[in-house]
Amino acid sequence: MRVRVLAFARLRELLQAPETWFDLPHDAGVDDLWLELERRFPLLHGEAKWVRVACNGRLVDGVQPLREGDEIALLPPVGGG
């Protein structure tokens, strides 16, 4: 299956693009996608604990199964004051 990954803020810099596409096995979930992200972009290693993931506009956890054409957004922590 093919999914679209959107990256924001610092994550965009680590992926070197605002978006990218991934081909994954049909039974893949968010955790599988993250492992593939780390493989392709080693600078992401260790970032998973800080990054929120949205699938088609909804925040999800790592066990969320993915489907063909899903849009995944990688959301970095937000600071403010």
Residue 30, both tokens: 């968010």
Alpha helix ranges (H) inside the chain: 10-15, 30-40
Spatial contact of 5 and 19, defined as CB atoms under 8 Å apart: yes
pLDDT digit string (tens) for 2-13?
999 999 998 999
- So what's the pLDDT on residue 77? 85
Domains of the chain are 2-75 (3.10.20.30)
Mean pLDDT computed over every residue of the chain: 93
Q: 3-state class of 10 per DSSP?
A: helix
